[in-house]
Copies of this chain bind each other. A is one copy, B any other.
Amino acid sequence: MKDLKNYIETNRERFLNELFELLRIPSISSKEAHKEDMIKAAEWVKDKLAADGAENAEVLSTNGHPVVYADKMVDPSLPTVLVYGHYDVQPVEPLELWKSKPFEPEIRDGKIWARGADDDKGQMYMHFKAFEYLNSTNQLPCNIKFMIEGEEEIGSPSLGAFCEANKEKLKCDVILVSDTAMIAKDFPSITTGLRGLSYVEVKVKGPKRDLHSGLFGGAVANPINILCDMISSLTDEKNRITVKGFYDDVLEIPENERKEMAKAPFNLEEYKKELDIEEVYGEEGYTTLERVGIRPSLDVNGIWGGHTEKGAKTVLPSEAHAKISMRLVPNQDSKKITELFGKHFKAIAPKSVKVDVEFLHGGEGYVAPSDTVEFQAASKAFEETFGQKAIPVKSGGSIPIIALFEKALGVKSILMGFGLESDAIHSPNENYPLDNFFKGIETIPYFYKHYTEMKGK
């Protein structure tokens, strides 16, 4: 790649200034109040792709937030790579824990600090700049298409229909995604497994009105206590999930694959230290990497009920609520699991309360082999810039659209993540090391090169 390092070095400041423009747009997809910001972000993405040399750049409306498309077809006989990314971000609460404002990006300690710095504005923008370099220096080795959506953080509800409706436009040989993390600093990795997701909201309703906890306490079921009992019973003493039928479709990973996983660079003491916890936790019989990589989990993502402000209100509340999500492993069907959960949760409710279970969102897990052309090409690309081959890892996260792409477009995805687990995505103080950002821009062109070469053989 001619002059690649020098190109990045020369344009370093401009690249950051451009990214900061995007980071300043509070494109929170889950909040109605940010609808205008979503459109603003989509327009910005479209304009930038056009400015970087892409053609046919357009903002395409969906039933939800729009999708941005652009492409650069150099030769129909060459392979076509579709770059996927998302311009939407997670909410930012609790705001008081941010050291700098989430939508006022700044650089401290060699990192970019902002909501979306990593997930996914920062990682997505590396692709724009890699493309700009290849295009402006006439070195594009293959055809490139961009599909940048605005609903990833809310489960991509419109993307399935969008893919179905635009099959021809989106036709490609592989989908390239940077929306995952490296297994450790300086250890490039390629995500070969993702967990599925079933996310529900539950309500436990007791008496029809809030009661005085003195006059009624001890005689009327308290929905918060009951909700705690019910949640507690969802896992057993081995931290296995008790929902009936939950493990029926879980594939046990063969011993040799577990041995392979155990070789990944992972330091439990550093992991605990970074999180400031004394002990890890999880399903008996599995390591930490296995617990997130190959085993399902159940987490309460939010809980609320009764008096949550300052002071001591003696209330026995009428209702209690929780958001509960389950991460699923490949072969577990998220719809089936959601149904099993709903049935189970209603079955375990005592007669003294009424229970509602509402499905919020979900998606399927994904597993990709590591003997494919795209895996080898990505691994070689990492080797060019990091000096070592990529490690295949199974991530605990979920990108439901990866399974969806395979179903709707019939193509596999390659997950070249440049984030770090310490980037605090979805948390206060999200950040993205400058090194990773620039290393990403440097690595991506090599993927196109090796992929085209290997594919051509």
Residue positions of A touching B, CB distance < 8 A:
30-31, 90-91, 93-94, 97, 154-155, 181, 195, 197, 199, 206-222, 224-225, 227-229, 231-233, 235, 275-283, 288-289, 291-292, 295-317, 320-323, 325, 327, 350-353, 360-361, 395-398, 421, 424-429
B315 touches A308 (CB 8 A): no
Give Cα A30–Cα B213 distance, bound, in whole angstroms.
17
A302 touches B315 (CB 8 A): yes
- Option from B195, B213, B219, B304 in Cβ contact (under 8 Å) with A280: B219
A361 touches B398 (CB 8 A): no
Q: How far is the CB of A236 from chain B (nearest CB, A)?
A: 11
- Option from B219, B298, B303, B421 in Cβ contact (under 8 Å) with A215: B421
Q: Which residues of B lie under 8 Å from residue A350 when comparing CB positions?
A: 279, 281
- Option from B225, B276, B361 in Cβ contact (under 8 Å) with A207: B276
Q: How far is the CB of A272 from chain B (nearest CB, A)?
A: 9
B352 touches A218 (CB 8 A): no
Give Cα A94–Cα B307 distance, bound, in whole angstroms.
9
A427 touches B209 (CB 8 A): yes
Minimum CB distance partner of A199 in chain B:
B312
Q: Which residues of B lie under 8 Å from residue A296 when comparing CB positions?
A: 218
- Option from B199, B322, B428 in Cβ contact (under 8 Å) with A314: B199
- Option from B181, B211, B217, B275 in Cβ contact (under 8 Å) with A297: B217
Q: Which residues of B lie under 8 Å from residue A421 when comparing CB positions?
A: 215
A352 touches B281 (CB 8 A): yes
Q: Which residues of B lie under 8 Å from residue A279 when comparing CB positions?
A: 221, 350-352
A221 touches B277 (CB 8 A): yes
A212 touches B30 (CB 8 A): no
Please judge, given known A-B contacts A91-B309, A312-B361, A314-B199, whether A280 and B218 are in contact too, CB under 8 Å. no
Q: Which residues of B lie under 8 Å from residue A428 when comparing CB positions?
A: 209-210
